[in-house]
Amino acid sequence: MKNKEDHFILFSTCIPVKGYVSSLIMDLDKGEYLEIPNELYDILVTDHFKYTIEEVKSLFNNDYDEGINQYFQYLVNNHYGFYTSNPSPFQKLPLHFDSPHKVISSIVVINKDSKYDLTNVFQQLDALDCQLLQIRIYDKIEVARVIETLKVLSKSSIRIIELYLPAFLKLSHEVLKNILVDFPRILITVYGAEKSKKVSVLKNSSRIIKYTNQKLLYSSKEVYSKNLFTVSREMFLESVNYNAGLYRKVCIDHEGSIKNYVSHETAYGNIKDNLIADIIQKEEFKEKYYLKNDLIEKCKDCQFRYMCLSNSDIEKKGKNYYKINTCTYNPYKNTWEPSVNI
């Protein structure tokens, strides 16, 4: 119940984000968001620590008094905010983001023509404190050789190793189970399967083998969908400060080229001639770390920009930056359009 002198305060992890025609509140604790009109966004970002609800109403010429009452009550009822007579102890979420890891994530691609030293790549990534390693295997290659190589990471600090295997290798459950047993940090996805399913092969364990009927192509385009958005504190803070898809990511393609992302055209060196540590220090390699959605045309007007993870390459035309593989969302109409790139 609110009193005349009360302030309305959003919880610090409930973040209003404005889009061109529609806005939303990201709830970083619950991992969900609420779509709101832009008018309410403007009201929510006034200084509620300074102004009482009655003062906020008069800042908007008392045009929205009833709407403010109803929306604030709705937000209180749904645990986005609260009323208080003393807002001073409450604070906004600090927006700082940093990571102690020189490499946060990496993708390593292996096919039948790959001639680079895999053991050396894994050792270099481990030395750079990589946290998430994704290994994509294409073609009919000797998987046992790759698995043997992974032993070099048995004492590494890599948190998760994702292994993508093509279904046409026809590896048995027994073989896959042995990989899970030998490497407790490995997650296995078999792509190009007939049916998508999850198979549990270990007793008393939640670890599964994931089969997906999706294909994994060298030229796989970015997939954008509301279902793929990530609402979390880490994602939000990273996106506010950096390009969340490319920040501290380094990828090695099937030829050993060192890139920001495997499908990008630009390579900054090759693993046969260069050290990953040297490449990721180069200013031109790091440039894309800083091209966050707030700086990219269309994305900067999109209310989903702090939950949308994209590895797309970015090009500069004149003074403006654009994603090369963009989505079909049109923030100027608030519609998803089947095949329109703006």
Positions that interact with ligand SF4 (CB under 6 A): 224, 293, 298-299, 302, 304-305, 308, 310, 323, 326-327, 329, 331
User: In the bound complex, what is the minimum distance in angstroms from residue 295's beta carbon to ligand SF4?
Assistant: 11
User: In the bound complex, what is the minimum distance in angstroms from residue 327's beta carbon to ligand SF4?
Assistant: 3
CB 33 within 8 A of CB 114: no
CB 272 within 8 A of CB 258: no
Cβ nearer to ligand SF4, comparing 79 with 333: 333
CB 198 within 8 A of CB 210: yes
Cα–Cα separations (whole angstroms), residue 209 to 54, 62, 126, 250: 57, 58, 25, 26
Cβ nearer to ligand SF4, comparing 182 with 234: 234
User: In the bound complex, what is the minimum distance in angstroms from residue 304's beta carbon to ligand SF4?
Assistant: 4
Q: How many helices (H) and strands (E) does the chain have?
A: 9, 17
User: In the bound complex, what is the minimum distance in angstroms from residue 326's beta carbon to ligand SF4?
Assistant: 6
CB 168 within 8 A of CB 141: no
CB 254 within 8 A of CB 138: yes
Tokens of 196: 């998508």
Cβ nearer to ligand SF4, comparing 3 with 341: 341
User: In the bound complex, what is the minimum distance in angstroms from residue 300's beta carbon to ligand SF4?
Assistant: 8
Q: Which residues are within 8 A (CB) of 249 and not within 5 positions of it... i.e. 6 or more apart?
A: 103, 104, 105, 106, 107, 260, 261, 311
Cβ nearer to ligand SF4, comparing 224 with 247: 224
User: In the bound complex, what is the minimum distance in angstroms from residue 261's beta carbon to ligand SF4?
Assistant: 15
Cβ nearer to ligand SF4, comparing 108 with 246: 246
Cβ nearer to ligand SF4, comparing 71 with 304: 304
The Cα 125–Cα 132 span in angstroms is 10
* CB-based burial label for 1 (10 Å; 0-12, 13-18, 19+): exposed
User: In the bound complex, what is the minimum distance in angstroms from residue 248's beta carbon to ligand SF4?
Assistant: 20
DSSP string over 193-256: -SS-EEEE-STT---EEEEES----TTPPP---GGG----HHHHHHHHHS-TTTTTEEEE-TT-
User: In the bound complex, what is the minimum distance in angstroms from residue 290's beta carbon to ligand SF4?
Assistant: 16
CB 247 within 8 A of CB 231: no
Cβ nearer to ligand SF4, comparing 135 with 299: 299
Cβ nearer to ligand SF4, comparing 164 with 224: 224
